[in-house]
Structure 1
Amino acid sequence: MESGARRPYRMGARAAAVEATRARVLEAAAALWTRRWYDDVTLQHIADEAGVSVQTIVNHFGGRDGLADAVADLVASQTVVARQAPVGDVAAIVAVLFADYERQGDAGVLWIAQMDRVPAAARAAAHARDQHRAWLEQVFADRLPAPGPAREHALNLHHAATDLYLWKLWRRDLGLSREDAERAMRDLLTSIDPRKRHDA
């Protein structure tokens, strides 16, 4: 009787331990790939960082590419949570976007730079673009035209005005303060509002 009663507990504890190990590996891989080129990070580096064996990583993710895809999925899910903003509130939209870029923008730029030779980076970048476009449709739903060419044009403008590389230009290349960079993006988004454009 006791053995049967304790079995679900043991199974639950084992599942929790497996999930904790998986999360630790993901965090270790994300931390290393945030700072270093994809090819410079081996499974052994990640295993050492996470305190597990290389075989454990292989068992969970199948290898480095599978782990990279899992890291990209983790980052994507964190991005969805981080970018919650009221529809049409430009100041709030820019604020949450900058908070996200300040947190992981440099890592994003590093991954995009590798997309031509690292398939996992290319997949992550493509997913991030699609995710960003869907986010734009959500937070600017009040200003976007009905489906059609005008909507696509407006989305393209908004995508350019909020792109990661624009953040990089302002914050890293030109050295703008976060306050000045956010103000620049707010002004840009205000200037391309389709409701105020006669040629929209």
Structure 2
Amino acid sequence: MESEARRPYRMGARAAAMEATRTRVVEAAATLWMRQWYDDVTLQDVADEAGVSVQTIVNHFGGKDGLADAVADLVATETAVTRQAPTGDVAAIAAALFTDYERHGDANVLWTAQMDRVPAIARAAAHARGLHRAWLEQVFADRLPAPGPAREHALNLHHAATDVYLWKLWRRDLGLSREDAEHAMRDLLTSIDPRKRHAPRKRHDA
């Protein structure tokens, strides 16, 4: 008869193995979806990439839709780690954002292009927008106005200035180096600082 001490150990090992399998599947799906359209990736493709069966994926995630939600959660977690930057340090903020976009930017653009027809991607995109806005409120807390219309306006400006499509424009469409693109973002963020735009104009003597 199995001892009471042995049983929890086996249960813990089983749970760890299941979690490892789940992580492997999510990472495999993320790798495939970073370079292929959602519809072009099948559960069999993910199973082959992860070294598991399709039934294992279904058991863990219920299907492709649930797997996409798990991938979105993984990317959100990685993004939160990558984007850590001191409040008010524009250079560090831009650098952190570019580190994230250089890794996930192309995949973000690919996923965003599909959100009108894939509900899982639409959910992921909406969640990502909310997280990005919360991040902006954190890293630009020193410059944002008090809650109200002025704050919302400022947040909208900062959201546009840090959007992944602006990164795509500079890095992919215009072919700027990362250094030049980061420089452009720093200049843009400096130019929309509400403290500077609404500062009283200096009077000059005649």
TM over 0.5: yes
Aligned to 1:144, the other structure's residue is in SS state coil
Q: Render the CA deviation track for 1:48-83: whole Å, top value 9, x for unaligned.
A: 110100000000000000000010011111111111
Distance 2:187 2:180 in 1: 11
Residue 5 (structure 1) shift: 1.7
Corresponding residue number in structure 1 for 2:196? 196
TM-score normalised by the chain length of structure 2: 0.95
Corresponding residue number in structure 2 for 1:185? 185
Distance 1:57 1:44 in 2: 9
Distance 1:41 1:83 in 2: 29
TM-score normalised by the chain length of structure 1: 0.98
Structure 2 residues not aligned, in runs of 5+? 201-206
RMSD: 1.3
Corresponding residue number in structure 1 for 2:21? 21
Please state which structure has a larger fraction of its residues in helix: 1
Aligned residues: 200
Aligned to 2:146, the other structure's residue is in SS state coil
Corresponding residue number in structure 1 for 2:175? 175
Q: Render the CA deviation track for 1:110-167: whole Å, top value 9, x for unaligned.
A: 0000001111111111111111000000000000000001001100000000000000
Corresponding residue number in structure 2 for 1:86? 86
Corresponding residue number in structure 2 for 1:135? 135
Structure 1 residues not aligned, in runs of 5+? none
Runs of 4+ in structure 1 off by over 4 angstroms are: none
Corresponding residue number in structure 1 for 2:5? 5
Structure 1 vs Structure 2: percent identity of aligned residues? 86
Corresponding residue number in structure 2 for 1:66? 66
Amino acid at match of 2:119: P
Corresponding residue number in structure 1 for 2:100? 100
Corresponding residue number in structure 2 for 1:121? 121
Larger radius of gyration: 2
Corresponding residue number in structure 2 for 1:40? 40
